[in-house]
Structure 1
Amino acid sequence: MLRVAEGDVVGADARVLTAHDLQVDEALLTGEAQPVQRRPDPPADPGAGPGERTTMLHAGTLVVHGSGTAVVVGTGADSELGRIAGLLREHSAPDTPLQRRLAALGRRLSAAAVAACALVVVLGLLRGEPWGIMLVAGISLAVAAIPESLPAVVALALAAATRRMADQGAIVRSLPAVEALGSVTVLAADKTGTLTTGHPRAVAVWTREGVLELPAPGVGGVGVAAGGRGGRALLEAVVLCSDAEPGGGGTEGALVDAAAGAGVDVPGLRAALPRTHVRPFDAAHRSMRTTHAGPAGPLEVVKGAPEVVLAGEEDAGRTVAAWAGEGRRVLAVAAGPPGAVRLLGLIATADPVRPDAAAAVRAARAAGIRPVMITGDHPGTAAAVAAAVGVTVPGDPPDAPGHGLRPVYARTDPAGKLAIVTAWQEAGHLVAMTGDGVNDAPALRAADVGVAMGRRGTEVAKEAADLVLTDDSLATVVAAVAEGRRVFDNVRRFVRYGVSGGLAELLVMLVGPLVGFVLPLLPGQVLWVNLVTHGLPGVAIGSEIAEPDVLRRPPRPPSEGLLTRRGAFDVLWVAALMTGSCLGLAVWSAARGGPWQTVLFATLALTQLGMALTTRSDRTPFWRMAPAGNPFLFVAVATSLAATLAAVYLPGLSDLLGLDPLPAADLALVAAVAVVPAILIELVEAARARRSG
């Protein structure tokens, strides 16, 4: 048996036996911001969700008013919390899009590099080259052909994005989830605390003198604006027929706060009209009734469901219907001599929409992300909030048939939220899910990116999430999407740069013997070129700032890889261009009896360093972009250029690598040829930008 009273946390799932105005905060399980009434009615349908089981108390919920007794029916794994824990154990977090894309790219590049290097070794042996040299050359080329700094670039880009996101109020618990945010196509938001404030307040009053929408945070001036005495009499009656104190929270606290904000002296009024009798709210009467001693005789106040208190008031009834359609909760208030009370008016409460919610939803739509709202709250309330913030707007595409996909889901339990996330994923979407309660944890774990609220979120929700918001703002999620897209763009830039350079090195080794170079580059030379071109410049490419339109373009298709068809084509022609430039200049040097291998080495390195500068943007030439956008790239290129020149001119190092110092004229020619591929790349990208508008 359980005996519960105001302030108690329920210790087990239990069926109510007796209740005295028993109200419970179940936001932990249902997301419903308002306390719910619990009473010993006939049991609800076994398939009903936690919020609809009016006879049940659930472990972990908070009694905010009244008292009662209940018989325990479930503990541990058999409780609602236990079932949620079971869902968490059954569902692990999926791999992020970046993890899947990197794995696929790694398999393809490894297979291609091994095959090409084996071909180089075989051809060398057929030409009579020593097998030891060819084996070392093959291994060195395999190392150089694969952009092995890619993991470092990804890790550093994600770490830098994590720091920037922390500055904006988002704490990252899983590094790969940063990039996954940039790929999401559906943003599933919990209502309470994410789209709304999570703190109910009085939002409107109706009296026979008029209607007043109450501004946040209080109702300053309501007595005058609503018709003077009528509005004030309504709020004074609310204070008398309530046990709440200002700032007490919940619906009752919101009503008293409204009165205090209008200038009602709550303690003074209650002292002047002391309570002599009370009939607490119960299921049978659906109202609370108090009697007070006053100088003019006894005063009775009734506060409760409009259909109980109104008794045929048509004007008030129309207001009730309109407010209910907007998702507001309405109470009617009457007062007068005992047995002769008359209607004073109506007061509506609601969980207000967060000031930044609508703008965040609009930003998500502009970024091509479909907003979806999932809540355990009432369908009418859910529909009103969805319309207010823009989750539903006229002209939206129809619901997807066959999957049960729609923009608003109400009265959902933990299993239902999990099923909704899974259904969107099965329809080919990448889903980011926000939540704060224990009931959200399974869906947060199953989503491609789980986002928990840091202020009001439970520890269970935070543990299941990839991202924790310190400000509980949906706008922070949208800002994090921009960071995710920035990370992916930079990783893609490095992949195109690194694969192009690696392919050029392979082609030089494969084509070189066909133009008379038995072993175009020694193993140490290949590794040095790879080190100076893929090391610091690769890391610097991962620091590039986001494109201006990063949140004005649609998300990438989930099936799109790091190298698109056009990206692969670019890699091929750029690698061929670099190969032709390098071998052409080496052939010219050999014909003059010059140090052709050093020329080939220097040209291959400088060509790739020049190409690194072109990776900054696909639409703006690098010479028009401010260095301040990515100063590290210029420092990295300069440092790598110095390392290349050191390999050519520094005694000891040049001997170790088998290189000869280049005459100044040869070095100038190498530099001139090295910039040609970069210029051609910029011209091609400029032509594409003009064609695309």
Structure 2
Amino acid sequence: MNWHLLPLSDISRLLNTTPSGIATSIASERLIEYGGNQIEDKKKKTVLRMLLHQLTDFMILILIAVAIISGFIGDLVDTIIILAIILVNAIIGFIQEFRAEKAMEALKDMTPSNARVIREGNTFEIPAFDLVPGDVVLLEAGNRIPADVRFFETHQIKVDESTLTGESHNTEKNSAKLPEGTYSLGDRNNMGFKGTFITNGRGAAYVIATGMNTELGRIAKMIQIEETATPLQKRLSAFGKRLSIVILIICIVIFVIGRLRGEAVLTMLLTSISLAVAAIPEALPALVTVALAFGAKRLAKSNALIRKLPAVETLGSVTYICSDKTGTLTLNKMSVQEIYETPNVKTTSALFQTSPLLIAMALNNDVAKETNGKWIGDSTETALAEYAFNKNIEKFELEKKLPRVAELPFDSSRKCMTTVHQTETGIVVITKGAVDMLWAKLDENQKSLIPELEVKINEMAEKGYRIIGYAIKEIEALPKTINAETIESSLRFIGFTAMLDPPREEAKKAVSECKQAGIIPIMITGDHRLTAINIAKQLGIITSEEDLVLEGSVLETLSEKQFENSVEKIRVYARVNPEQKLKIVKALQAKGQFVAMTGDGVNDAPALKNADIGIAMGINGTEVAKEAAHMILLDDNFATIVIAVKHGRRIFDNILKFIKYTMTSNSGEIWAIFLAPFFGLPIPLLAVHILWINLVTDGLPGLALASEPSEADIMERPPRNPKQNIFAGRMALHILWVGFLMGSVTLGMQAWAIGSGISHWQTMAFTVLCFSQMGHILAIRSDKESLFKIGILSNKPLLGALALTIALQMMLIYTPFFNSVFKTQPLTIYELTITLLVSSIVFWAVEIEKWIYRLKKKNNFNGNENKNKKS
């Protein structure tokens, strides 16, 4: 229902109410019909349900099965270790899901507890929960509006709707119906909305909607959705399912082959369990969580607060960043760019002779100055006064000579503000406001100048500037009645100012970095088209005619399909309502893009929640926006988003390096166990050895990979394709051939030791596999560059982890207690030296692989260069 377009008589009839209110009996009936005036939660997940949800992953179920089987056959050490891993992983997942339930609570906090109503002509204070459509509510400064209302009586009432609309200025309300047309929430100036705050005046209004039928309730429904899975979560989920199937197949094959060879059932069962344990990367969930936590800690130092850990990684896959203009891409501080003074404006006051416009700019405002020199007041007025001050027109000194004796405050219907000052010769009236409103107020002698002035004004407007005009009038004495009709008439136009909220310098660089990184920056603003285009061009968001600009009114008329067809070409959205952001997010996602969206108001929450990464403003953002977002910008700065993207890419790279490392290690274990029977060798590793490798040898150095510095070209490459699986590129091949090499080296060590009559052969094979992985992790610190180029000391935490892992491995070899637990034996110096030398083979093989890759790349580059020169 378009309540804002209806006359009050129709509203009274439709709601069956009057300014005296409804009867208490009718209110009771309507409360049953419409329900309580509250924001309802979706059905909350119980703590038990959230915990059980963490145990339903396919890989976790496999691990649980392995743990149970290990327990039945008496291998309690393996069972305890596996169950501990599962428990830690479940707790971490539970904490993340539990925190995601809080956005609704923030919405409920915005609802007032009581309301003043008129029922049957009497005034009551009732619980806001009991409000029903048709109730008459009384509102005054300091109240939070308890439901959606239509005003029928207003007395200079102003409402702060920033929490709902994102607009920072207060909206003046009236009771008149609006002309036919399409209006955003912020333009419905005869309506009040649940949760917004009255800053000035008083009024009375009809309740037209309560609870979930209000605008706030509509937003609540939109954010009651399941969390969007991040690219990494999707990839790891797919990876886990595929890996689990492969593990089951391998285990079955090994078991069948063993039985066909005449091996005992229990022996083959233990071998199959060892293979399953070897194949499952137990430390992966912990590593991913630690890497994300480290990233979140670093981002906090860069003014980006991460609320939901997976968002750290999502940043690395972002293809579009949709950003608010004001305060994020711009300074959120109006600045006077140019002024124009009407020539030959003469005054009787000597003080006005030098520069009437600058004097008017200094006097016609309500700004003040703190003792530390900081200007305080409306940002537009502050900019005007500061500009005059910088031109040696000092406001506060001037006010002593030209004291204000009367004023007419700005209002939305006049679009003007007037101050009246005493001069040495009489009275001067200064009026500032929209130039089109000033034309009708000019002296007849000046109206002939309007066409010429409009040409100059249009030139400024085409640059996207906000134009504010000034006019004055001199009178002998102050009239008894001060009103707009008498004071704001027969004015003389003295000039205008051209203002702009200038772009942040660091935002220009950040936009350039975005484009270089293959990320498309989008600007979204409630400002006019010309202003938006001007800022976008200055920032480099618009660089060609192919970059489209779309206004909110046009977006409203487009069908979903029409919008999707053009959404990837649009670079600027002007005069857009915050609620249209959700449409932008969904259209881009429908085209396969990964979207970061910024917002600060309550009605930004659905877009923030649905975006692949929602970014709330830390300075001006509402609690609802912050709760719905994945990340909070503590400085509201676009450049911080780009810094966060760089961190996100680095973290994702390091997670991929860990997956490469752990899966190659697991591949080596599988190859060793799988191939041993074919060469007539006993199984080289026990299940406890494999668990030690997976948890300690994989885990400690793997965690230290989270500290690996970013690659030099990290912001010069396009975002990783979200549809690409984890093993794209050379990773799958690397895991197979390096794993095969690890397994072969381990079996070679085993065969040589057995052939040489060394009884410690199993300890040697176990140690070769451990130390081969140490060499492997050093080699894969960079996908392309040699370890010696990036610097051995450039990741000190990794060196510390390697030293600790080597020390722990030595403890297993040379400590009697651990010899009995892990079935190891002390090695001689000769045996240990042979083991270390054999273990280094994997390191040098991977370094050679990278050298060949660099050589091929260089040859391809030179070949393309030569082709270009010939063409």
TM-score (norm 1): 0.88
Other-structure match for 1:103: 237
Give CA deviations for 1:313-367 in whole Å, capped at 9, x if unaligned. Answer: 3443223112222332212111133565322110233333233222221222222
Q: 1:328 aligns with which of 436, 449, 465?
A: 465
- The code of the aligned residue for 2:503 comes to V
Other-structure match for 1:85: 220
Q: 2:433 aligns with which of 294, 304, 314?
A: 304
CA contact (8 A) 2:779 2:847 kept: yes
1:135 aligns to 2:269 (yes or no):
yes
Q: 2:246 aligns with which of 98, 112, 129?
A: 112
1:448 aligns to 2:585 (yes or no):
no
- The code of the aligned residue for 1:299 comes to V
Other-structure match for 1:684: 849
- The code of the aligned residue for 1:172 comes to I
CA contact (8 A) 2:548 2:571 kept: no
Q: For 1:503-522, what aligned pairs fall within 5 Å after superposition?
A: 503-522=667-686
Deviation at 1:138? 2.0
Q: For 1:514-663, what aligned pairs fall within 5 Å after superposition?
A: 514-595=678-759, 596-663=761-828
Deviation at 1:541? 2.1
Work out the CA distance in 2 between the residues paired with 1:397 and 1:369. Answer: 14
Other-structure match for 2:318: 184
Other-structure match for 1:490: 654
What is the SS of the residue equivalent to 2:785? coil
Other-structure match for 1:317: 454
Other-structure match for 1:217: none
Other-structure match for 2:384: 255
Deviation at 1:305? 2.1
What is the SS of the residue equivalent to 1:542? helix
CA contact (8 A) 1:513 1:520 kept: no
Range with bigger deviation, 536-545 or 132-141: 132-141
- The code of the aligned residue for 1:144 comes to A
Work out the CA distance in 1 between the residues paired with 2:804 and 2:713. Answer: 31
Work out the CA distance in 1 between the residues paired with 2:818 and 2:141. Answer: 80
- The code of the aligned residue for 1:177 comes to A
Work out the CA distance in 2 between the residues paired with 1:308 and 1:46. Answer: 22
- The code of the aligned residue for 1:507 comes to W
Work out the CA distance in 2 between the residues paired with 1:527 and 1:234. Answer: 81
What is the SS of the residue equivalent to 1:189? strand
Work out the CA distance in 1 between the residues paired with 2:367 and 2:797. Answer: 60
Other-structure match for 2:480: none
CA contact (8 A) 1:31 1:377 kept: no
CA contact (8 A) 1:44 1:52 kept: no
Other-structure match for 1:287: 416
CA contact (8 A) 2:671 2:744 kept: no
Work out the CA distance in 2 between the residues paired with 1:442 and 1:327. Answer: 30
Work out the CA distance in 2 between the residues paired with 1:153 and 1:384. Answer: 46
CA contact (8 A) 1:20 1:282 kept: no
Other-structure match for 1:147: 281
CA contact (8 A) 1:30 1:412 kept: no
Deviation at 1:154? 0.9
CA contact (8 A) 1:529 1:605 kept: yes
Other-structure match for 2:599: 435
Deviation at 1:377? 3.0
Work out the CA distance in 2 between the residues paired with 1:325 and 1:72. Answer: 43
Q: For 1:457-468, what aligned pairs fall within 5 Å after superposition?
A: 457-468=621-632
Give CA deviations for 1:40-76 in whole Å, capped at 9, x if unaligned. Answer: 6641546421234354454555677888876654555
CA contact (8 A) 1:6 1:63 kept: yes
Other-structure match for 1:172: 306
CA contact (8 A) 1:34 1:200 kept: no
CA contact (8 A) 2:362 2:385 kept: yes
- The code of the aligned residue for 2:565 comes to G
TM-score (norm 2): 0.71
Give CA deviations for 1:559-595 in whole Å, capped at 9, x if unaligned. Answer: 1222215211111111111222222232233333333
Work out the CA distance in 2 between the residues paired with 1:544 and 1:330. Answer: 52
- The code of the aligned residue for 1:84 comes to I
1:280/1:441 CA distance change after superposition, 3 Å: same
Q: For 1:472-483, what aligned pairs fall within 5 Å after superposition?
A: 472-483=636-647
CA contact (8 A) 1:35 1:251 kept: no
Work out the CA distance in 1 between the residues paired with 2:197 and 2:203. Answer: 13
1:127/1:570 CA distance change after superposition, 3 Å: same
Deviation at 1:272? 4.4
CA contact (8 A) 2:514 2:520 kept: yes
- The code of the aligned residue for 1:234 comes to L
Other-structure match for 1:375: 525
CA contact (8 A) 1:39 1:283 kept: no
Other-structure match for 1:402: 565
Range with bigger deviation, 419-428 or 639-648: 639-648
Give CA deviations for 1:179-229 in whole Å, capped at 9, x if unaligned. Answer: 11111111110112211233334443211469xxxxxxxxxxxxxxxxx97
CA contact (8 A) 1:44 1:54 kept: no
CA contact (8 A) 1:31 1:375 kept: no
Work out the CA distance in 1 between the residues paired with 2:138 and 2:385. Answer: 28
- The code of the aligned residue for 1:618 comes to D
1:158 aligns to 2:292 (yes or no):
yes
Work out the CA distance in 2 between the residues paired with 1:307 and 1:345. Answer: 13
What is the SS of the residue equivalent to 1:402? helix
- The code of the aligned residue for 2:462 comes to G
Deviation at 1:423? 1.0
Instruction: Name stretches of at least 5 consecutive residues in structure 1 with no aligned partner.
Output: 211-227
1:45/1:137 CA distance change after superposition, 3 Å: farther
- The code of the aligned residue for 1:170 comes to A
Q: For 1:347-358, what aligned pairs fall within 5 Å after superposition?
A: 347-358=497-508
- The code of the aligned residue for 1:472 comes to D
1:345 aligns to 2:495 (yes or no):
yes
Deviation at 1:515? 0.8
Work out the CA distance in 2 between the residues paired with 1:539 and 1:283. Answer: 60
Structure possessing the higher relative contact order (Cα contacts under 8 Å, 6 or more residues apart): 1
What is the SS of the residue equivalent to 2:323? strand
1:14/1:254 CA distance change after superposition, 3 Å: farther
What is the SS of the residue equivalent to 1:558? coil
Count of residues in Structure 1 that have an aligned counterpart in Structure 2: 675
1:53 aligns to 2:53 (yes or no):
no
1:9/1:379 CA distance change after superposition, 3 Å: farther
Work out the CA distance in 2 between the residues paired with 1:2 and 1:232. Answer: 51
Range with bigger deviation, 623-632 or 436-445: 623-632
Q: 2:577 aligns with which of 399, 413, 423?
A: 413
- The code of the aligned residue for 2:360 comes to A
CA contact (8 A) 2:673 2:683 kept: yes
Q: 2:515 aligns with which of 333, 341, 365?
A: 365
CA contact (8 A) 2:287 2:699 kept: no
1:664/1:484 CA distance change after superposition, 3 Å: same
